[in-house]
Structure 1
Amino acid sequence: MDDTRLAGATGPRLLVPSAALLWGLQFAFLNPALALLLVALFHASDAEVGLTLALYNASGFVASLVVPAYADRTRDYLRPMLACSALTLAVAAILFFAASLPVAVVVLVALGGPAGVGSSLLFAHLKANGTPPAQMMNTRAIVSFAWVAGPPLAAFLIGALGEHSILAAIALIAVLAFTTTAALRSRSGPAPAAHGGKATDDDGAVLPRAAVAVVVFAFVALQATNNVVVSIMALFTTRSLGLGIEWGGIALGVAAALEIPALFAIGKLTRRFSSLGLIASGCVVGIGYYATMAFVASPVALVAAQVLNAWFFAVIAGVGLTFFQQIIPRPGLASGLFANTRRLGAIASGAIIAFGSTLGGYAGAFLVCGALTLAALVAIGVVWRITRRSAEARPSRAGLDQAKRA
């Protein structure tokens, strides 16, 4: 891509990284602290917290399909991002002054779900303007950094200044995100016209809808296994390994921190290897990680295994996003659908934990995760065969078309 065009498409060098950091921080502050806010500010019971979070996530699921689809039709992803920033500001302000749980629930469902689409729209904007996969991966690494730094910062604010302080911080970040997105929009030209026909992957083979469905299945399974790890790590370290609860946080923190350099490294590898090849390698690493976790017996081994976890999830988060954008012709829908594989995976993770624990405690849950990762690897292999067949068939069809014209 021409450097001038890229600069025109994404604005000055710091605008896109700044937008990625701010969009990541908004929800790295809100989502981990939301249950605490519901209890502390609105005296919600455990059942009410569960119901509220379920409704909030359901709203986000629907919004991740509807809002990006609208953006695809208009070929404008930055204007809806401005609206998402305004909605985030409204959510923080209303929750700050609200006095009852029903008001909080309505606000989170009506405004909070759509507000969370902004990050997906940023990546859709970058894809629509021809941003290469390596740069997309670097931008995704910045969002990951926000999720590493956000929860500890939120906890510090709440501990030092009280629960309302986190809402004030979210409001401030939303204002900064609005300003950055507005600056990005003022410097960006209109998105190029969409190409007709079906999307192609990085090897140039056409993917039918059935193959796209197989990819979605694989990523829901992979996202579910990652959510299982996050959900049970503290319990695994205390109940299975007999360690202090801080070891669960150390393990997850190491994995999250290592994910950032892993994303930068994977960005460079996208220039040499296909997306399907990288995803398959990530699945192999993931299988090794879950097998290791099922038999780990010491804190050193626990922390060392997180190197595998970091690479595995970096492939899912980084290559998965760009691959969805390769196989689905509409950037907004692609980014939204990828985001929803994580939501569906979170829903499925509860059943995985329940089933796996009956087979052998938390070690059993890790083994089930390994089996699901193997199933995802098989699914990726099926998609690879479909792409190869399509690629081999295309020259023959081209030859026939040329003969007809002659």
Structure 2
Amino acid sequence: MIARLLIPSSALLWGLQFALLSPALAIILATLYDASTADIGWSLAVYHAGGFVASLLIPAWADRRRSYLPVMLGCGVLTIALAGILATVTSLPLATVALVVIGGPAALGTTMLFAHLRDTGSTTSHIADTRAIISVAWMGGPPLATLIIGWLGGHGILAALTVLAILNIATTAAMVFRHKRADQDAAPSRTSRSAPSLPPTGKAATALILTAFVLFQATNATAMTFMTIYVTETLGLAIIWAGIALGVAAALEVPALMIIGRLGDRVSHLTLVAVGALAGVTYYLGLAAVTEPVLLLALQPLNAISFAVVSGIGMVLFQEMIPGAGLSTGLFMNTRRIGAILSGPIIALGALPLLGQRGVFLACAILTLAGLGFVHIARRAAATTASATPAAEDAPAR
């Protein structure tokens, strides 16, 4: 029973760790180092750039050794080191260096967890269920972060991160022990264990899927970031309706992830991605036309479906198409980073007189539709590659 709780506990703890840090990092920089808004922007930009590089190099290193849990242990140790350094340094440049050098690698705990799940042969539903637990953590993390900041300030958040890191180290150490015992019990098969088989997709299909998911992530980030302004300025509603809409979508994400994960064990992942993209297009078109709060809330199930497919099935699809459980998971995580960057220019469209704020969501619908087109072309490219591969009948592209 305890062994079965290790993965869910680890997912919850890692999810809480970053759900606390992400919304609180700007406040930590402002309160502990008197950073201005511009200073915070540059520091966070450098930090995210360092995280981007770390999420490519370290997972690839872990792939070569097929060793993900020890890297997770290292992430926990680095988190404690990061919290200690941020609590003791007094200048913003030193804090920024710590965020890049230590914070970037420390942020890979979740990536390594999903890489470990892929490497050990977890099903799509298991991976999606684990991703749903992280969504639960993100539902509670930001409110908890604001509570801690209001009570104990920036140092309080750093102390909470240290506690979570210690718990992460403990759960990961238990997972390492359990994994070693499982390998010892299956010693004959362990010597001949090979990397998980990958469908013959080809570089063209992989590049198309990467492009499609950057667009999906960009439009999702745009809708989430822009919702408050849109609700108050264009719809003329109280700001609480934006919070209610986003809260409804977040609450629906968890069951959506679990349902779609089970469908992923039976249905082609590319097909599910296409369904999620269609849900996204419908959602953005609905947002562009909505005038009442009831319709705004009625659209949120489409938002939840679209996000669940992108975050749940998308991760598994990357793990199938790209060799290396760590690198593929890291690349998927980076589509969110790149998408967040692209969301800025999309939101800027709202300043154009001919488009206005409703045009932002029309642009999201068009970009999501373009992503759907890339997925369709990728399916055809994967099918062509599979038909030209001798083992295609044994390993059809999903």
Give the TM-score taking structure 2 as reference length. Answer: 0.92
Is 1:357–1:363's contact at 8 Å kept on the other side of the alignment? Answer: no
CA distance in 1, matches of 2:198, 2:266: 21
Q: 2:382 aligns with which of 384, 387, 400?
A: 387
Residues 377, 96 of structure 1: CA spacing in aligned structure 2 closer, same or farther, 3 A cutoff?
Answer: same
CA distance in 1, matches of 2:95, 2:243: 29
SS in 1 for 2:238: coil
- Which position in structure 1 is the counterpart of 2:344? 350
> Which residue type is aligned with residue 360 of structure 2?
A
The 5 A counterparts of 1:38-49 are 38-49=29-40
Q: 1:321 aligns with which of 315, 319, 335?
A: 315
Is 1:356–1:366's contact at 8 Å kept on the other side of the alignment? Answer: no
> Which residue type is aligned with residue 337 of structure 2?
R
SS in 2 for 1:188: helix
> Which residue type is aligned with residue 44 of structure 1?
A
- Which position in structure 1 is the counterpart of 2:373? 378
Q: 1:363 aligns with which of 358, 361, 379?
A: 358
CA distance in 2, matches of 1:313, 1:178: 30
The 5 A counterparts of 1:3-402 are 12-189=3-180, 193-195=193-195, 199-200=198-199, 206-358=200-352, 359-394=354-389
Is 2:56–2:330's contact at 8 Å kept on the other side of the alignment? Answer: yes
Residues 155, 389 of structure 1: CA spacing in aligned structure 2 closer, same or farther, 3 A cutoff?
Answer: same
Is 1:232–1:362's contact at 8 Å kept on the other side of the alignment? Answer: no
Structure 1 residue ranges without an equivalent (≥5): 1-6, 201-205, 399-406
Residues 392, 170 of structure 1: CA spacing in aligned structure 2 closer, same or farther, 3 A cutoff?
Answer: same
Is 1:357–1:365's contact at 8 Å kept on the other side of the alignment? Answer: no
> 1:369-395: CA deviations, max 9, x gaps?
100000010001001112222333446
SS in 2 for 1:273: coil
> 1:323-367: CA deviations, max 9, x gaps?
000111210001000001101111111111113542422211111
**1:199 positional shift:** 2.5
**1:396 positional shift:** 9.5
- Which position in structure 2 is the counterpart of 1:3? none
Residues 367, 185 of structure 1: CA spacing in aligned structure 2 closer, same or farther, 3 A cutoff?
Answer: same
Residues 104, 391 of structure 1: CA spacing in aligned structure 2 closer, same or farther, 3 A cutoff?
Answer: same
CA distance in 2, matches of 1:364, 1:251: 20
SS in 2 for 1:14: helix
Is 1:227–1:345's contact at 8 Å kept on the other side of the alignment? Answer: yes
Is 2:256–2:305's contact at 8 Å kept on the other side of the alignment? Answer: yes
CA distance in 1, matches of 2:304, 2:148: 27
Give the TM-score taking structure 1 as reference length. Answer: 0.91
> Which residue type is aligned with residue 16 of structure 1?
I
Is 2:123–2:265's contact at 8 Å kept on the other side of the alignment? Answer: no
CA distance in 1, matches of 2:391, 2:175: 44
CA distance in 2, matches of 1:357, 1:382: 33
> 1:55-102: CA deviations, max 9, x gaps?
010011001001100100111001111111111111112222332212
> Which residue type is aligned with residue 145 of structure 1?
V
CA distance in 1, matches of 2:218, 2:171: 33
> Which residue type is aligned with residue 314 of structure 2?
G
Is 2:202–2:385's contact at 8 Å kept on the other side of the alignment? Answer: no
CA distance in 2, matches of 1:95, 1:396: 53
CA distance in 2, matches of 1:391, 1:107: 46
The alignment's C-alpha RMSD in Å is: 1.8
- Which position in structure 2 is the counterpart of 1:401? none
**1:167 positional shift:** 1.3
